[in-house]
């Protein structure tokens, strides 16, 4: 089995911090847990909105992070949708709460999966994330609901880490999804000698129709090679690739507020869904913020 195939199997099978099945050969818990040291790391930068986190109305399999005060939407600001896929495709999103709260504080409706009491433990899948998009559309039209008429249902992003990154690629082919973020992940070529697996392959990359963000933890992240391989394949939509030195596979998502990764995710979304040029300066132009940051290796195609 190739190195890329081995690490993809590891990302797909392992839930966060070893709560799933035993790791396949070549993948250790130390590799999965490797994160950017917190001391001296950039801090998460929250947005202007205080955030409330709550169960999704009549959808016990989802949790919502959104601005607590909704008066500014939609006349003064927009409320695009962000759906998140957890590392290891874990169904419980609690560990990502601070990361997702930072994104929501910039004026986004953020949805993630939640375990349902009484149901057998399982991993999340593409249908769970697709149902989150459906929920946002329903709530936007539900008379008397707090989100009635406030959600920018024409601006939907799907992002995910590790196994959740596979799910973001799967949802990236949905016509409702305008951009995806793939963190510490990368889909693999199809195995011509084996049955179809549960996750998309590199064949799906040609079906993406919006800008793609590919972020990994550099050489200490076992998915770095797959991440860059995906970047090389994508040539029909704008794509940004970033490898954060010494970040590892868990990177900064569990830092306070989600750390540097939360800033990267938020700025990408603000650029593409709110037209925020200041946020976009992190990714665009020869002197872009990440391009000139000595802690990052970057590459891009099709970004103005």
DSSP per-residue letters across 237-280 = S-EEEEEETT-TTTBTTTSGGGHHHHHHHHHHHHHHHH--HHHH
Question: pTM score, two decimals?
Answer: 0.93
Predicted confidence (pLDDT) at residue 204 exceeds the cutoff of 80: yes
Per-residue pLDDT tens digits for 159-192 = 999 999 999 999 999 999 999 999 999 999 988 8
Predicted confidence (pLDDT) at residue 279 exceeds the cutoff of 70: yes
Predicted pLDDT of residue 197: 73
* Domain ranges (residues) in the chain: 3-188+197-301
Predicted pLDDT of residue 27: 85
Predicted pLDDT of residue 19: 36
Sign for the pseudo-dihedral over CA of 156, 304, 296, 42: negative
- The span from the CA of 192 to the CA of 292, in Å, is 41
Predicted pLDDT of residue 244: 98
Predicted confidence (pLDDT) at residue 17 exceeds the cutoff of 60: no
Average of per-residue pLDDT across 143-149: 98
Pairwise pLDDT comparison (29 vs 195), residue with the higher score: 29
Predicted confidence (pLDDT) at residue 22 exceeds the cutoff of 60: no
Mean pLDDT of all residues in the chain?
A: 92
138 with 147: CB under 8 angstroms? no
Pairwise pLDDT comparison (16 vs 108), residue with the higher score: 108
169 with 237: CB under 8 angstroms? no
Pairwise pLDDT comparison (147 vs 192), residue with the higher score: 147
Predicted confidence (pLDDT) at residue 86 exceeds the cutoff of 50: yes
247 with 33: CB under 8 angstroms? no
What CATH number has the domain spanning 3-188+197-301?
Answer: 3.40.50.1820
- The span from the CA of 268 to the CA of 106, in Å, is 11
164 with 86: CB under 8 angstroms? yes
Average of per-residue pLDDT across 117-136: 95
Predicted pLDDT of residue 183: 98
Predicted confidence (pLDDT) at residue 21 exceeds the cutoff of 60: no
């Amino acid at each position: 089995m190739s190195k890329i195939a081995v690490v993809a199997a590891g990302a797909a099978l392992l839930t966060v911090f070893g709560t799933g099945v035993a790791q396949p050969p070549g993948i250790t818990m130390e590799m999965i847990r490797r994160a950017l040291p917190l001391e001296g790391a950039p801090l998460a930068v929250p947005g202007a909105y205080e955030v409330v986190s709550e169960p999704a109305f009549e959808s016990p399999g989802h949790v919502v992070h959104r601005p607590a005060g909704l008066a500014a939407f939609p006349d003064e600001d927009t409320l695009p949708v962000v759906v998140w896929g957890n590392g290891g495709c874990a169904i419980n999103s609690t560990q990502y709460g601070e990361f997702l709260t930072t994104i929501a504080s910039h004026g986004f409706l953020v949805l993630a999966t939640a375990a349902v009491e009484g149901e057998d433990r399982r991993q999340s899948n593409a249908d769970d994330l697709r149902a989150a998009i459906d929920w946002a559309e329903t709530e936007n039209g539900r008379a008397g609901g707090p989100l009635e008429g406030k959600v920018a249902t024409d601006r939907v992003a799907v992002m995910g880490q590790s196994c959740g990154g596979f799910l973001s690629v799967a949802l990236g082919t949905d016509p409702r999804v305008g951009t995806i973020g793939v963190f510490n992940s990368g889909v693999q070529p199809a195995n011509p000698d084996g049955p179809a697996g549960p996750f998309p392959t590199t064949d799906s990359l040609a079906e993406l129709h919006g800008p793609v963000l590919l972020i990994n933890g550099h050489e200490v992240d076992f998915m770095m090679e797959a991440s860059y391989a995906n970047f090389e394949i994508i040539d029909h939509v704008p794509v940004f690739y970033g490898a954060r030195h010494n970040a590892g596979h868990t990177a900064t998502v569990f830092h306070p507020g989600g750390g540097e990764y939360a800033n990267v995710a938020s700025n990408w979304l603000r650029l593409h869904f709110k037209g925020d040029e200041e946020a976009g300066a992190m990714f665009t132009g020869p002197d872009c913020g990440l391009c000139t940051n000595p802690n990052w290796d970057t590459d891009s195609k099709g970004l103005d």
